[in-house]
Amino acid sequence: MPNTSDVIIIGGGVHGASLAFHLAQRGVKPILLEKKFIAAGATGRSGGLVRMHYDVRQDSELAWISFGYFKNWGELVGGESGFTRTGFIQIVAREHEAALRLNTAMHQDIGIASFMISAEDVKRLAPSFVTDDFDFAAYEPESGYADPNTTTASLINAAKGKGAQIKQDCLVTGAIVGAGQVKGVTTTQGDFFAPTVVNAAGAWADKINTMVGLEIPYSTWRHDTMLVGRPKEIGPSHPTVIDFPNEMYFRPETGGLTLVGLEDNNLLGESPEGDTDHAKHGFVERAIERICQRIPVMEKGHLHTAYGGYDGITPDQHPLLGQAGPEGFYLQCGMSGTGFKIAPAVGLCMSELLLDGQAKAVDISIYHPERFKEKKEITGNYVSIWH
Ligand SMILES: Cc1cc2nc3c(=O)[nH]c(=O)nc-3n(C[C@H](O)[C@H](O)[C@H](O)COP(=O)(O)OP(=O)(O)OC[C@H]3O[C@@H](n4cnc5c(N)ncnc54)[C@H](O)[C@@H]3O)c2cc1C
């Protein structure tokens, strides 16, 4: 049969790429179908933060295993991920300190280098930061950020080297289903057949679910990002930060830049085809105000650029991982604005699920796509402080 493979992966973001790599590593020959080009969606717009700080144990475990990849990328994948160690600081308001301590203890239990440090210690690490609105922060000395485009390209190259096929400019337009079993997909480049189809279509995943008659609550989440030129007073770099009191995250970028994203006013439910070349009206002003609250000397900086991106989001802001709908149809989507850093481990777990019937690296059963029907939404073990 023409165009037949072991597994069809829909979507060439970091998640489709990671799954293609891990399947190919196990000797399976997947075909990845991407409607535009590799990393054309959320991945190419991602801030690329790499940290392990979460309030759900499995999230931290996925991030921790992925961190092992980022640290040893050349050996485990080949090529580059652009991982840059900057140290990561999670700042929370005083009323969330108890939850922060519990989270940090959970991270330490997993084996993650994560510590509570005082506001004075934060000042020592980052002298230009305002530190009078909190007493303690969580600190991961080994964390930082990676380059999402480079990461995805090297996963794709490694997958291709092991026998995966990659087709770009190939829009999946429908599903071929018979007797309750998925058999393939129709596309703008013809029909493709496989007994297993994985939906890794990010913000577009709902459309793919509809093609197989699957109804799962799903929306899109827009995030805007600003890059600013740092004034020399800040020094050559600064830590990567999630600044919960200011609903903001920021990290250094090459070329003397700082990348800033905001956690509020991120629009839900827009078409993922919206303009991502420009940030939404008013975003830059708000982002400048926030970064200057934490780093006042940033007032001497200058705007470099600002843009947007769309991710898929679920009602509990956690991924959909596993089988749902017709037999052979799997989901690896709904990354809810935080999926880059976990992609290596998620691809590994999904390859184990497909090939061995169960993920071994991390128990991903809590992310089962049908959990909303069963009222098993994922909530943090402790007070949730970053949603
Ligand atoms: C601005 C922004 C900042 C972020 N910052 C961070 C961060 O700092 N750290 C972090 O961990 N995460 C971050 N995220 C989240 C992270 O980037 C995403 O969760 C992750 O990239 C999602 O990857 P994906 O492969 O699931 O989806 P995508 O990268 O969106 O890939 C899906 C792909 O599917 C393709 N596709 C869609 N429909 C079809 C079809 N019908 N046929 C064929 N192909 C199709 C699309 O073209 C797209 O390339 C951020 C996201 C945004 C938007």
235-239 average pLDDT score: 96
Nearest to 232 by CA among 261, 262, 258, 250: 258
**Both ends of the chain: CA-CA distance in Å?**
47
206-229 average pLDDT score: 98
pLDDT in tens, 322-353: 999 999 999 999 999 999 999 999 999 999 99
Nearest to 189 by CA among 329, 35, 37, 41: 35
CA of 42 to the centre of ligand 1 (A): 3
Tell me the two tokens of residue 161.
């080297």
Confidence of residue 387 (pLDDT cuts 50, 70, 90): very low
Task: Indicate the top mutation candidate among 19, 22, 34 to test ligand 1's pocket, ranked by most ligand atoms within 8 A of CB.
Answer: 34
pLDDT of residue 381: 61
Asked if residue 384 has pLDDT above 90, the reply is: no
Tell me the two tokens of residue 167.
């087709």
159-170 average pLDDT score: 98
Q: For residue 36, which atom of ligand 1 is closest to its CA?
A: 47
Strand partners, 183: none
The DSSP call for residue 247 is T
Within 6 A (CB) of ligand 1 lie 10-16, 33-36, 40-43, 45-49, 171-172, 200-204, 223, 225, 261, 309, 311, 333, 335, 337-341
pLDDT in tens, 183-194: 999 999 999 999
Task: Indicate the top mutation candidate among 189, 192, 204 to test ligand 1's pocket, ranked by most ligand atoms within 8 A of CB.
Answer: 204
Please give the mean pLDDT across all residues of the chain: 96
132-136 average pLDDT score: 98
Neighbours of 277 (CB within 10 A): 8
| Whole-angstrom distance, CA of residue 20 vs CA of residue 23 | 5
Asked if residue 246 has pLDDT above 60, the reply is: yes
pLDDT of residue 177: 98
Asked if residue 380 has pLDDT above 90, the reply is: no
pLDDT of residue 385: 46
b/e per residue, 154-182, with b = 16+ CB within 10 A?
bbbbbbeebbbbbbeebebeebbbeeeeb
pLDDT in tens, 37-92: 999 999 999 999 999 999 999 999 999 999 999 999 999 999 999 999 999 999 99
The DSSP call for residue 45 is G
Asked if residue 1 has pLDDT above 80, the reply is: no
Residues 6+ positions from 16 with CB-CB distance below 8 Å: 9, 10, 32, 34, 198, 200, 332
Q: Contact at 8 Å (CB) between 259 and 250?
A: yes
Confidence of residue 382 (pLDDT cuts 50, 70, 90): low
